[in-house]
Amino acid sequence: MPAKFWFKWQRLRATLRAAFGVQEQSAESAHRMCPHCRGLIGRDTSLCPLCGASVRAPRARAGAASDRVLGGLIPLPSTATSALVAANVILYALGWYLTGKGGESGAVASMGDIDPGVLIRLGAKFGPLIVSGEWWRLVTAIFLHAGLIHIGMNLWCLIDLGPTVEQLFSTTKFVVLFLVTGVIGFIFSLVWSPYGLSIGASGSVLGLIGVLMGATFHHGQFGREYRSQLWRWVIFIAVIGLFSRTDNAAHLGGLVSGLALGYFVPEGEPETRTSETVWNALALISVLIIAASFALMALQLNRPVG
Domain ranges of the chain: 1-58, 62-299
- How far is residue 306's CA from residue 236's CA, in Å, rounded to a whole number? 36
| More confident of the two residues 286 and 241 | 286
Residue type, 253: G
pTM value is 0.76
Query: Sign of torsion, CA 102 105 109 113?
Result: negative
The pLDDT assigned to 305 comes to: 59
Lowest mean pLDDT among 23-37, 146-160, 174-188: 23-37
Asked if residues 160 and 206 have their Cβ atoms less than 8 Å apart, the reply is no
For the domain made up of 62-299, the CATH class stated in words is: mainly alpha
Residue 41 Cα to chain centre, angstroms: 29
Helix, strand, coil content of the chain in percent (nearest 5): 65, 5, 30
The residues with which 40 forms a beta bridge, in sequence order, are 33
Give the up-direction half-sphere exposure of residue 93: CA atoms within 13 A in the CB hemisphere. 6
Predicted local confidence at residue 144, as pLDDT: 97
The whole-number pLDDT of residue 274 equals 93
Alpha-carbon gap, residue 95 to 93, rounded angstroms: 5
pLDDT score of 200 more than 90? yes
DSSP three-state, residue 41? strand
